[in-house]
Chains A and B, each alone.
Chain A
């Protein structure tokens, strides 16, 4: 098998605050192959975004720091690159789009300025060639009158259109990996679907790998080849979409799925929620971090931290009891 495009190993990113050290990402390892679309799912504050920011090395000391780990991209360890080399990677090999398109574009420069700036930075082209590339990029994200809107400012666009511009900007330099950090959270549902379809289409066309970060399982379902579920700074379960959705092995994944609204089920049923709140990342509970919120926790769960291992069902899971529990057959909500 070919080397993976992205190989993250034991990544740990800590933030120092007055209360103590926040272990936002605490030993995360995963691989993304070229062209693979990977979903990263979890509650707010579980370390999804910090993982992405760490890969891009956008965590700014002294507040936050990547303590240990390896982020191999295309055979190079990004954490060992010089700042100048890293600038070539950012926006060139790995592009990133963000949650709130309303504020992610600089209000005082035109769309064209901001697109051309990126292209000139990463491609050896003249200004007028860069302009043509920018117009093509805007065309690709289905913005009408691409040539004309180049002179427009971000405030003249709606949220959905701005996110299209962000995608155009991200893909204009043909990156191998696109990191999308909750790209549709700030958009209304119709626009969400349009943006996700657009991203799917473009990523497939160009064989771009995508790391889609979201807390919305619905968004991931139609988009990703594989999914990893994060909880309190580490990955608790990883598998294909089928495995995660139809045969969850970790009680947290199982709980998350239970909290989803489903159109194909009776409306009468109460939505389940995962009880409790995410643990403090400064003093995480001993043993399994999900233990205090888990309906199936036993003594071992309070003593030892489970590691991510191959389950009998195929996906990887970090749960002591995954093999004995048959979560599929337990009706969600039955225990609470």
Chain B
């Protein structure tokens, strides 16, 4: 694992992202459209629905965003990577890139929701810590699954079939933590849930690092 390698992969990803603006634009447009659609149908969104909608939008936009990053690579590109880097640096770079992308999409979605239907969060620290943990978990799962789904014919279907059940534990905890942060539920033990979330994240992260070198070679 070398930091220069990680850096160069990250730079390359960002460069591609800026060259192919339609893909990024598509993700943001998707999120904005869904928010607007929900705003028009619900008219008045209660805090509980707000949290739920936020994470459902995040789930699907995140899925789209990450699918793109691994699936756009051609078979030849993989071979090229394989000759250049070891698996861990590639994984770290992809993971960081996906996390960064998810965070940006998340901020954008929160902004859209806030403009259209208010910002019900009371406890900003809890909200940001919880969401950060959750986004990390989602990006780990999406990255790992997209490696497996890559270079298959029905890869985007496979991607959602594999990753949606895996994200459920993270998502359930996440919705609970963020609901508490809106002040709807009073839960003194909410930081236990945050710790649990961190625990799940570290397990997932550890197993991804262990398994990635095996799964990647194809």
Say whether A and B bind each other.
no
